Copies of this chain bind each other. A is one copy, B any other.
Amino acid sequence: MTLDALPPHQGGAEQLARLLAQALLAGHWQPGDVFPRELDIGKHFAVSRNQVRNALTSLTAAGLLERTAGRGTLVREMGDWHLLDPLMSEWMTGLVDLDPQLIRAIYAFRFSAEPVVAGLAAQAAQAEDIERLESAYAGMKSSAGSVEARAEHAEYDVAFHDATYRASHNLVWRQMGHLLRPSIMALIHRSQHRTGPLDDSLARHRQVLDAIRSRDASAAESAAREVLRRTAIDLGIVS
């Protein structure tokens, strides 16, 4: 894989990092491959070696690359990626050709974890948490059905689930909310055909909200499970 296939970029090491990271996430390099040298990257994108090093530092911190003096830069395998690094979530968001294996892994995680989180939320939610959930739900409802508001709907969807994680009032669970955005955004690109099921999804979200509001942990658990069962269908994981 060469750099030629990548789009141009403008401004900042962060942009460059995103560009390279998304190429890696899309699998343009195989694990074990040697990554282009600093100077080549700098020449190709017309940026200083500093910018390149800053970008590569981020990718290395995220577990995408492994650098050693003398040898060069190697591409690490998916199992070494720091999927919970917020930067990773940011890079994954908006990436259309994300590895299906990765999408499945994230979904499987959510399917096992989110019911528990919803249960905790039902126990720990404060008034402000309920408010966030209601606000997100209202946004989902208002943007449901129309095709042009799909992106907006996804944002409210993310907000709803993120509010659930926050309502658990646990520092660790809350960090994991970052994973929601890429997971839910992937859903947009996978299910651009159907529009009918949205009402269904909406009703299930409402049940989660109601269960948390009434502090019914087990009801929240099973309601969250139903939401995710629906998501699995939309993602094309099950039929």
Q: Which residues of A contact B (CB under 8 A)?
A: 57-58, 61, 63, 78-79, 81-87, 102, 105-106, 108-109, 112-113, 116-117, 119-120, 170-176, 179
5 contacts between A and B (CB under 8 A): A61-B61, A82-B85, A108-B172, A112-B173, A113-B113
Q: By the criterion CB–CB under 8 Å, are B116 and A112 in contact?
A: yes
* Chain B residues positioned under 8 Å from A86 (CB to CB): 63, 82
B116 touches A170 (CB 8 A): no
Q: Min CB distance, A169 to chain B, in Å?
A: 9
For A115, the closest partner residue in chain B by CB is: B116
Is the beta-carbon distance between A84 and B170 smaller than 8 angstroms?
Answer: no
| Contact across chains for B171 and A105 when beta carbons are under 8 A apart | yes
Partner of A57, one of B57, B78, B117, B120: B57
A58's partner among B61, B116, B172, B179 (CB-CB below 8 A) is: B61
Do B57 and A105 touch across chains, with their CB atoms under 8 A apart? no
Do residues B61 and A105 form an inter-chain contact, with CB atoms below 8 A? Answer: no
With contact pairs A57-B57, A58-B61, A61-B61 given, residues A83 and B113 touching in the complex (Cβ less than 8 Å) = no
Q: In the complex the two chains form, what is the Cα distance from A119 to B112 in whole Å?
A: 10
Complex CA gap A179/B61 in Å reads 17
Q: How far is the CB of A150 from chain B (nearest CB, A)?
A: 26
Partner of A112, one of B58, B109, B120: B120
CB-based contact B170/A105 at 8 Å? yes
Contact B116 A84 (CB under 8 A): no
